[in-house]
Amino acid sequence: MKIEDFFEISHEPIYNFLKTYPYPFEALGRPLKEFIQKEIDSVPKDQRLLGNISPLAYVTGDVVVEAGAVLEAFCYVEGPTYIAKGATVRHGAYIRGNTYVSSEAIVGHTTEVKGSVFLPGAKASHFAYVGDSILGAKCNLGAGTKLANLRFDKKNISFIYENKKYSTSLNKCGSILGDHVQTACNMVLNPGTAIIKGKWIYG
């Protein structure tokens, strides 16, 4: 279950962070939060909100919105969150913190996100829930896709990958979706779902 099975690694800071971990899920939780805070702290406070931010958007806490990013009206963005150039957070989106939105990614209308990474061009454009997950480059979630992140019994989550079980120390962990993965509309993925790059998940 290597990073390279899911993502084409580039030299962007988010990739440099991810490739320091043997397994992608190890980057979630506290490590992701600390990485995002470090990236935010590297930006002077008067340079953190340079994007096209609607006066009707609500931004609170430590948040960076790079020049060229867009926050539409009535979205809610809570820090620590980093939104890179060219990304869009659409009307009614709800970002609950610990989230990294890479260039050209989309957090769509009424989409809720927490503790997650959108790699470049990843899209959750309509009515999605993305909890404690990683979306690969140009991954696309069909409308209404939910990435569940909590077991009913609240136990720690495990991944099954190529007939091998990988246990995490996390009781909240969603999905690892590789580059160019696509889901059909109204899909629900169980906690601990791993899909390598290029796969399509039909309804």
Check whether the bond before 80 is cis (ω within 30° of 0).
yes
Q: Phi and psi at residue 119, in whole multiples of 5°?
A: -75, 170
Please indicate whether residue 126 is annotated as part of the active site.
yes
Pair 146, 135: CB distance under 8 Å: no
Exactly one of 11, 109, 126, 180 is catalytic; which is it? 126
Taking each continuous run of H as one helix and of E as one strand, the counts in the chain are 3, 24
Element (H, E) at 35: helix 30-41
How many whole angstroms separate alpha carbon 155 and alpha carbon 115?
A: 18
Contacts of 54 by beta carbon, 8 Å cutoff, 6+ apart? 71, 72, 73, 74, 75
Catalytic residue set: 126
